[in-house]
Amino acid sequence: MKVWKIVFCILLLAACKNDLKEKEPGTRPKENMPAPVQNLLTSVEQYPDSMGLRMKLVDALDSLGAYPQALGQLDSLIRKDSLNYGLWYRKALLQENAKDTTGALRSYRYAIRIYPSPDAMLAAANLLAEKKDTTALRICQQLMALGMGREYAAHCHFITGIYYARTGNQAKAIESFNNCIRNDLNYMEAYMEKGFLYFDHHQTQEALQIFQTVVTIKNTYADGYYWIAKCREILKQPAEAIDNYRKSLTLDPTLSEAAAALNRLGAK
């Protein structure tokens, strides 16, 4: 329990440091929501004590991007059951979706105080790493000391790599991503982040090799083909670039960047 208390204190300090206000998107009128969501709203009004109905509504509002209303529903549950780890953890995830990093860290802190879940610790550490906060490293070190197995070790190394990547330490970032991959050969995000580092440092051939490894491991990974295409374009290989942009767009039609690149290259 001593380790969890240390991590909790670390998170408390981090949450106090992260005091920037992040604007939430506006609420959506009930009449502008899909009929199933309107029905859920009506059901919750009829059965306000039903946690199951309210959580279904939270999920539906989350998927619509109606974050203030979803948070309002969660807060109504938390007021009745303030020691429910699951509610605080769900609130943190919702705040992450709403781009409210400060709020998410605060909610993770409350969740961890109730139940010191490694998943909540990792989620908080990941946010802190993106914010270039050294607290992320300390949390990962504490979790690694618990010896929880390769899966958690991979996550800790990945988050450590994110911290070093965001703070400009390429060597340590790559070392951390390599450690992540040693624990989980299918950790796609670690390969991609490693490739991004090479790409950003104009080491295009090295980046290309990484992205090719990604699609070898998972040949349906659209982002892998997209970044192969970007590398091919830089290497003055337009035919190969076009082919890979097309593959990425076939796998993920929402990749507007790939469509724009094809237009730029005069391809359809």
**109-143 pLDDT, tens digit each:** 999 999 989 999 999 999 999 999 999 999 999 99
Backbone angles phi, psi at 57, to 5 degrees: -65, -40
pLDDT band at 225, cuts 50/70/90? Answer: very high
Residue 3 reports pLDDT greater than 80? no
The yes or no reply on domain 192-268 and CATH 3.30.70.20 is no
Q: Is the pTM of this model over 0.95?
A: no
Residue pair 78/106 in contact (Cβ under 8 Å)? The answer is: no
Residue 1 reports pLDDT greater than 50? no
Residue 25 reports pLDDT greater than 60? no
Say which range, 15-24, 42-51, 106-115, has the weakest mean pLDDT.
15-24
Say which range, 30-34, 50-54, 55-59, 94-98, has the weakest mean pLDDT.
30-34
- pLDDT value of residue 32: 76
- pLDDT value of residue 5: 52
Report the alpha-carbon distance of residue 204 to residue 195 in Å, rounded: 9
- pLDDT value of residue 9: 55
